[in-house]
Amino acid sequence: MNLNVSLFSLMLAAASLPLYIHLPRYATAELGLSLGAVGGILIAIRVMDFVQDPALGWLVDRYPAQLARFAMIGALGMGLGFLMLFSLPPLLDPTAWLVLSLVVLFTCYSLAAILFYGQSTALAPTSDALLRLAGFREAGALSGVILAALAPVALMALFGSEGGFAIYGMALALICAVVYLRTRSLWTVAPKPSGTLTFADLHRSGASRLLGLALINALPVAMTSTLFLFFVEDRLGLIRQAGGFLVLFFLAAGLSVPLWTRLSARKGVRPALLIAMTLAIASFVWAALLPAGHALPFALICIGSGAALGADMVLLPVLFSAALDRAGLKAGQAFGLWFLAGKLALALAAALLLPVLDAAGFQPGAVNSPDALQTLTLAYAVLPCLIKLVAITLVFRLPQEVFTP
């Protein structure tokens, strides 16, 4: 079961951070869109998610006997979305085709992710088992993020931009099909019976507070992920090292997961989160002050910020699942809201920052003015640091029972 959990999580990860790392450059270079247009499209799709994600969660809870069918639709639909986005030539206007591709991809991703995380307490009925499952789940997610983030860099080096992205889309579609076939046993475990979800129940259980924390805490990572390639290539001038930095970032996140799990078991979840958030802020501050061409210091920044991400990915979902389980709430609908918060953070980062860079005159891969590069630095490092301070304030203010897995 643990291997299947990791594999399904690996598949889901390809449609999260890696997509936001590569989509802005792909859409501008291959589809001819502006950064502002890409940001506007992403936030518009998130508006659709306000209705769609809770509805998908309700659907999963309403028809528990159809989990296997939902998993098939989610996984194979994601594969179709990847093909439409990266491999098939646009059958419509490029903007309309991008919107349609992202709607297919994100809708099926939402269904698969809500289904998967909502099944956590069925697959792991005790708190210790839930923490172990979270470890396998996040290890798979981080492996998927590493592979999906690095593959376009390697493929473009071998086949050029257009050919590299086309092969990338086909490879992701194949992974989705193989993972679906390999992980069908996950849906044979009956979900735990639970009561009807209401916002009052979410608030009483503490889950609503965790939702707010998850949204605020995800924004800095979303911002740095969206602008990562721009910062490395255009601000630091380290084009050839971009792939290596991505490896360090996500490898540090993956290797840190067992360390954060042990630390939270020994010292508590709240202290572990605060240490991780402080580490993230230190990394952001260093990045803001870093001169161009300094590869080794930025490698250390990637290690520090990656390790901080590992804590976010493993601890917060466990707390949310535990809060739902204690209150006997329906996990499908609740995780619909959870993933809406995560996707909203990624979309807000793109919608807020890409138009600002566009207005400042920043052009990827071109010679940019000092003012444009300064705007990039503020967006990549300074603003995430300030938002992380808000997240730390929330952690201090939340009651202790929220941090009990």
Length of the chain in residues, anyone? Answer: 405
Does residue 8 have a pLDDT over 90? yes
Percentage of the chain with pLDDT > 70?
Answer: 91
Given the structure tokens 């910020």, which residue do they identify? 305
Torsion, Cα 45 394 111 18, to 10 degrees, reads: 70
Contacts (Cβ under 8 Å, ≥6 apart) of 267: none
> Directed axis angle between helix 35-62 and helix 17-30, to 10°?
140
Between residues 189 and 219, the one the model is more confident about: 219
Contact 393, 310 (CB under 8 A): no
Q: Which range marks the domain in which residue 316 is found?
A: 2-403
Per-residue pLDDT averaged across 179-206, rounded? 74
Does residue 149 have a pLDDT over 60? yes
Between residues 158 and 194, the one the model is more confident about: 158
Per-residue pLDDT averaged across 374-386, rounded? 94
pLDDT at position 127 is: 61
Instruction: Give 18: exposed, middle or buried? Use CB within 10 Å, 0-12, 13-18, 19+.
Output: buried
pLDDT at position 78 is: 97
Query: How far is the C-alpha of 299 from the C-alpha of 282, rounded, in Å?
Result: 14
- Please choose, from the candidates 127, 164, 182, the residue with its C-alpha nearest in 3D space to the C-alpha of residue 9: 182
pLDDT at position 194 is: 53
Query: How far is the C-alpha of 74 from the C-alpha of 179, rounded, in Å?
Result: 11
Per-residue pLDDT averaged across 75-83, rounded? 96
Between residues 145 and 335, the one the model is more confident about: 145
Does residue 357 have a pLDDT over 60? yes
Q: Is the dihedral of CA 51, 316, 17, 68 positive or negative?
A: negative
Query: How far is the C-alpha of 126 from the C-alpha of 103, rounded, in Å?
Result: 36
Does residue 335 have a pLDDT over 70? no
**Chain centre distance of CA 263:** 23
Per-residue pLDDT averaged across 312-326, rounded? 77
Q: Model confidence at 302, in pLDDT bands (50, 70, 90)?
A: very high
pLDDT at position 115 is: 86
Does residue 381 have a pLDDT over 90? yes
Per-residue pLDDT averaged across 183-197, rounded? 71
Per-residue pLDDT averaged across 180-206, rounded? 74
Percentage of the chain with pLDDT > 90?
Answer: 32
Instruction: Give 241: exposed, middle or buried? Use CB within 10 Å, 0-12, 13-18, 19+.
Output: middle
Q: Model confidence at 125, in pLDDT bands (50, 70, 90)?
A: low
In tens, the pLDDT along 27-45 reads 888 888 888 888 888 778 7
State the chain's mean pLDDT as an integer.
84
Query: How far is the C-alpha of 359 from the C-alpha of 356, rounded, in Å?
Result: 5
Q: Model confidence at 294, in pLDDT bands (50, 70, 90)?
A: very high
Given the structure tokens 């920043």, which residue do they identify? 362
- Domain of 235, CATH number, reads 1.20.1250.20
- Please choose, from the candidates 90, 87, 92, 101, the residue with its C-alpha nearest in 3D space to the C-alpha of residue 41: 101
Lowest mean pLDDT among 56-65, 121-130, 161-170: 121-130
pLDDT at position 198 is: 66
Q: Give the chain's domain count.
A: 1
Per-residue pLDDT averaged across 194-204, rounded? 65
